[in-house]
Amino acid sequence: MSRPTSRRHNAARVCTALLTLALGAFGTARAGCFDVKNAQFTRLRPLVSRNAEKALTAVNRLLAGLPADAARTEPGRLAALYAVQADAYGELGLYTPARASALKGLGLLPGRTDPLRLALLSDYAQSFKEPAGIDQALGLIERARAAQKRASRNDICLQIVQGYMNQQRDRSGLATRELTQAYLLSASPALAGPRMDAASLLATTLRRMGDVDEALGLIGRVIRWDAARGSASNLAIDTYKQGQILRTMGHFRRALVSLTRARRISLSQGVHQGVAYADLRICQAEIRLGRFTAARRDCDRAAPVFAAGNATDMVKETHALLARIDLADGHAARALAMLNRVLDHGGKDMVAHEVAPAYLSRARANAVLGNYRNAYADLQQYLRLYSARNQAARVRLQDALEVRFHAKEEIARNAVLRRRLRAAALRAGRQGQLLHWIEIASIAGTLAIVLLSYILLAERSHRRQLLRLANEDNLTGAPNRGHTARLAAAALQSALARNRPLTVALLDFDHFKEINDQYGHAAGDHVLREFARLARGALRATDTLGRWGGEEFLLILPDTTIGSALSSIERLRLLALGIAPHPGERAETWPRVTFSAGLATTAEGASTLDEIVARADAALYEAKNAGRDLVRIDRESCRNAANGAPI
């Protein structure tokens, strides 16, 4: 039998599934999982995976040739043709006709355990893409599961459908539990196909939850399965998933290898949308590696394919990447014009996780062109969206915690059941029969314990990753802007309460755009990373250096007067000058790395954080205007010093 999830998508199916779910991964749970014995179905179903349009043409021809009374004389054959038709429509992303075909087939078959009927029910349920329809369909799947033998193939396949549909509803905790159980229950060789499908979908969920190491291991097993079976279409999709996971992990060169392989396989299969998605993700990886010429080529190849399919959100995602390339190439005006078109509806017609980066790119373009008011507004919008994404991640974690609670209850119930069964066996003397039930209960308890152990282990990893995501700048490892602002506010509150001085400094690297333009963005990233690393060793434990935006850092110096702060700044200036060349650059051609700084301190305990930072920013602006590589103290701090305040 074919594998349970139809991860062998052709063009329109891949496009529509991704646009609807914004999951960044291929795959649905489809009818091929069920062990259908109907000869018509087993002959035509593999054709759907290879070429859904040809399969649809073939099944329509067969339907047209059936006698008018086929529903009475050949209901099984007619239902099988409707199942293939529904599957083909689903592969093509045509969900309304898929639902109609599935309903016709369901009307022909009685019973609750017929695999062909369950295959039709699976197609029907997955034809819903709006939340209310998905929830209604989940109810149908749950009732169908209740009629199946526990841990049977039918039960496992329906559970995979449940897991997939909860993925669609962004219920990561439930999807993880259902897909993990399906994966564990399908460990026998006879269920290898469903097991690999559960693994493929579980890898997608784990990637979204941040458990990328486990996701990478799972998808590696699935790829080996695909290769052993010679399933080219499955191999393309799962290799694409592998590339996405590697890209999420920051392994961009390894991601390029997987994505290029997926592109090559999709091209050989004639799946042009699959090629376009691979091109888009290759473009993203190339940008992160600073290979902007290659990235432009790949994005330029993807854009017209998405445009031809009226995939507005994917067109906009591609154009946002092209704008980033324009920015890197020094074409800020062109980048701004493109980003204005991308964000013409405020991101409502874009994939959700791509909206914040688009605002950040537009903020940078506006800043380069001197549109500082617009740049600030875009930066504020970026920070708001970034915070909302972090909050969504916390909600997913809470969902997972609820799943863990129920899993723990299930383990407790299984333990009680085992004790009662053992006692009953001793009292009644019917050990043979009861030992059989004890074994079943033990297996169920073991599975639940394995699941809970996995979830509890994953929780610590998820918590660490969520805290890092919320507080740490992913490039430099320094506190991000939000966390820096919170630390600064706490330091100011402490300084005011103890009547102690607090000094802040805004540091901005000089001619940073020239470093990016001449040596590439990888060199600019190297400068920021090295500066943050060196500064951590040069500052006191009570001091904080946080990334404030772009090439700008905010330095918080508690219990520090202006005079002492100047000494700290001077140490950092020397460290910046000593930043080693980026790998591949010669020392004699490496630029002199400098920064300008503006300092401000509390004014007799009466300052607010916004006021101090604004005064430091004004002093920084003076340092820039005076020729850069300079330090300036804001005027109020200077006046305080002139009036006898300690400096």
What are the catalytic residues? 551
Q: Are 22 and 352 in contact (CB under 8 A)?
A: yes
Joined together, the tokens standing for residue 19 give 């646009």
Q: Collapse the DSSP code of 558 into the 3-class scheme (helix H, G, I; strand E, B; otherwise coil) and give the result.
A: strand
CA atoms of 529 and 548, how far apart (whole Å): 14
The string of DSSP codes covering 46-82 is HHHHH-HHHHHHHHHHHHHTS-TTHHHH-HHHHHHHH
Q: Which residues contact 337 (CB under 8 A, 6 or more apart)?
A: none
CA atoms of 594 and 519, how far apart (whole Å): 16
Q: Are 319 and 338 in contact (CB under 8 A)?
A: yes
Joined together, the tokens standing for residue 327 give 């920015």
Q: Which residues contact 289 (CB under 8 A, 6 or more apart)?
A: 252, 253, 256, 522
Which residue reads 């850092």 in tokens? 553
Rounded to whole angstroms, the maximal C-alpha distance in the chain is 104
Q: Are 23 and 14 in contact (CB under 8 A)?
A: no
Closest CA relative to residue 251, chosen from 301, 288, 223: 288
Which residue reads 């026998």 in tokens? 188
Q: Which residues contact 596 (CB under 8 A, 6 or more apart)?
A: 507, 508, 510, 620, 623, 624, 628, 629, 630, 631, 632
CA atoms of 526 and 516, how far apart (whole Å): 10
> H-type helices in 249-371, by residue range?
252-269, 272-288, 292-308, 312-328, 332-342, 355-368
Instruction: Give the type of residue at 19.
Output: L
Q: What is the CA radius of gyration of the chain?
A: 30
**339, 363, 364, 617 from 377: Cα distances, Å:** 14, 8, 11, 17
Element (H, E) at 438: helix 431-471
Closest CA relative to residue 258, chosen from 297, 209, 210, 220: 220
Q: Are 98 and 90 in contact (CB under 8 A)?
A: yes
CA atoms of 120 and 47, how far apart (whole Å): 17
CA atoms of 403 and 595, how far apart (whole Å): 50
DSSP state, 581? P
CA atoms of 64 and 84, how far apart (whole Å): 14
Q: Collapse the DSSP code of 604 into the 3-class scheme (helix H, G, I; strand E, B; otherwise coil) and give the result.
A: coil
Please provide the size of the chain in residues: 647
CA atoms of 285 and 218, how far apart (whole Å): 22
CA atoms of 26 and 5, how far apart (whole Å): 10
Joined together, the tokens standing for residue 319 give 């154009």
Closest CA relative to residue 407, chosen from 465, 437, 446, 464: 446
Joined together, the tokens standing for residue 423 give 């006692």
Q: Which residues contact 524 (CB under 8 A, 6 or more apart)?
A: 512, 515, 516, 551
Closest CA relative to residue 1, chosen from 253, 171, 159, 197: 197
